A and B are shown apart, each in its own frame.
Chain A
Amino acid sequence: MAGKLNFSLVAPEREIFAGSVDQVDAPGVEGDFGVLPGHAPFMTTLREGVVTVYDGAQRRRFDVKGGFADVNGEGLSILAEEASEIVEG
């Protein structure tokens, strides 16, 4: 594995998540996709769904409503219209 993936999840009002993680799964308009470190540059719009962030044994889930994912050399950023963390119960 090529190190960690820089991931940030930002909503218009604030930054929801920023940090290095192992893997992120996101709901793209043309199908869900997973991003690992070193992913090729890629851009897509998102549909409503759940973004899952994997870091080690930890897993965090976020509800997102529309937005964009941008994967480039620096990592993955998701610009969501609305986003909130799902508290696991």
Chain B
Amino acid sequence: MASLKEMRNRIGSVKATQKITKAMQMVAAAKLKRAQEQAENARPYATRMASVIANLAAGVGDDGPRLMTGTGADQKHLVVVATADKGLAGGFSTNVIRAARDHINSLIANGKTVEIVAVGRKSRDQLTRLFGDKVVKTFELSEHKTVGLHAAQPIAELLAEKFEADEADKVTLFYSQFKSVISQVPSSRQLAPAEVDVDASADAGALYEYEPSEEEILETLLPRNLTTQILAALLENQAGFFGAQMAAMDNATRNAGDLINSLTLQYNRKRQAQITTELIEIIAGAEAL
């Protein structure tokens, strides 16, 4: 049985931990608000981009640029897995990686060639352990102070390059969709060939005039769309990460509180027992005289 002093120390250390988790929770909450705003602010651009592309796609048909129509094959898959750089956010990164892992395993089982691009340190660490040299490139987000276009651009450029160079037939992105503060859903999205949402077209069939030609517009627009989609996913990821971290830290704070309560109870009981023993000894000693 631990001595009273040891127990006091233990309670002290749990209290210190609780202070840290509490602070982290509040920091995550503040950052979450900003990340959420950022994700929401980026949404109009993405939706408009989708509707413009849908408009264009309706007019171009099958002979559009490669990023839209694809290579026609389904052999070489490029899987992008975006997670957070840091931990202490519960199963946030693990959930995304698990979804990606299942997808990759089923692709491999079907005899496809798979290459992996890891975005975020957690994704890099775990995927290299799982799939080794299938991870062809990694990106770290912590190099950038904020998640913005400059973070999404290099990723998009690499993907477009690989796609154009015939090194990939399909590009899929795994990320965590931000549903709410307490719910982040691992999701995937096909980046290339571009999925065209026909319903997003504002007024399909309208007679458009194009300057320069439709093809040229599409050619510049599609890589940009790639960037936008990656940026949107990164922003959702960021918001989701802080949400997950907040929830995880809230749990930890509460656990620490429970632990402190039960330790304090034990400590008080033990102290009382000791006092009683000492009293008995004194009384017994006095009676003996």
- In the complex, whether A54 has a CB less than 8 A from a CB of chain B is no
Q: Are A70 and B209 in contact (CB-based, < 8 A)?
A: no
Q: Which of A28, A68, A73, A81 is most buried by chain B, counting CB atoms within 10 A of its CB?
A: A68
Contact A12 B202 (CB under 8 A): no
Interface centre among A8, A14, A74 (most CB of B within 10 A): A14
Q: Is the CB of B211 within 8 A of A41?
A: no
The contact of B45 among A10, A73, A74, by CB within 8 Å, is: A10
Binary contact track A21-40/B, C-beta < 8 Å → 1, others 0: 00000001110000000001
Minimum C-beta distance from A7 to chain B (A): 12
Q: Does B263 contact A (CB under 8 A)?
A: no
Given A45-B217, A70-B52, A12 and B228 touching (CB < 8 A)? yes
With both chains docked as a complex, state the minimum distance between the C-beta of A72 and any C-beta of chain B, in angstroms.
5
Q: Is B231's CB within 8 Å of the partner chain A?
A: yes
Asked whether A43 is an interface residue with its Cβ less than 8 Å from the other chain, the reply is yes
Q: In the bound complex, do residue A44 and residue B211 qualify as a contact, i.e. CB atoms below 8 Å apart?
A: yes
Q: How far is the CA of A30 from the CA of B210 in the complex (A)?
A: 11
Known: A13-B42, A13-B149, A79-B49. A41 touches B221 (CB 8 A): no
Do A41 and B48 touch (CB < 8 A)? no
Give A63 to B96 CA distance when docked, in angstroms: 39
- A21–B56 Cα gap in the complex (Å)? 26
Contact at A13–B41, with CB atoms within 8 Å? Answer: yes
Q: Could you tell me if A70 and B48 are in contact, using CB atoms closer than 8 angstroms?
A: yes
**Chain B residues with CB below 8 A from A79, complex form:** 45, 48-49, 52
Task: Choose among A13, A43, A72 the residue that contacts B203 (Cβ–Cβ < 8 A).
Answer: A72
Which of A29, A42, A73 is in CB contact (< 8 Å) with B209? A42
A77-B228 Cα distance, complex, nearest whole Å: 16
Residue in A closest to B227 when the chains form the complex, CB atoms:
A12
A45: chain B residues at CB < 8 Å are 211-212, 216-217, 220-221
Given contacts A70-B52, A74-B202, A79-B52, are A12 and B209 in contact (CB under 8 A)? no
A11 within 8 A of B: yes
A residues 3-20 near B (Cβ < 8 Å) are: 8, 10-15
Nearest CB of B to A28, in Å: 6
Q: Digit string of B204-234 for contact with A (CB within 8 Å is 1, else 0)?
A: 0011111110001100110010011001000
Smallest CB gap from A74: residue in B: B202
> A73: which B residues are within 8 A, CB to CB?
202-203, 206
A40 touches B52 (CB 8 A): no
Identify 20 residue pairs between A and B in the complex whose beta-carbon atoms are under 8 Å apart, listed by A's number.
A10-B45, A10-B48, A12-B45, A12-B148, A12-B227, A15-B41, A30-B212, A41-B203, A41-B208, A43-B217, A45-B212, A45-B216, A45-B217, A45-B220, A68-B52, A68-B221, A74-B203, A79-B45, A79-B48, A79-B49
Complex contact B49–A41 (CB within 8 A): no
Quick check: A44 and B210 within 8 Å, CB to CB?
yes
- Report the bound CA distance from A33 to B42 in whole Å: 27
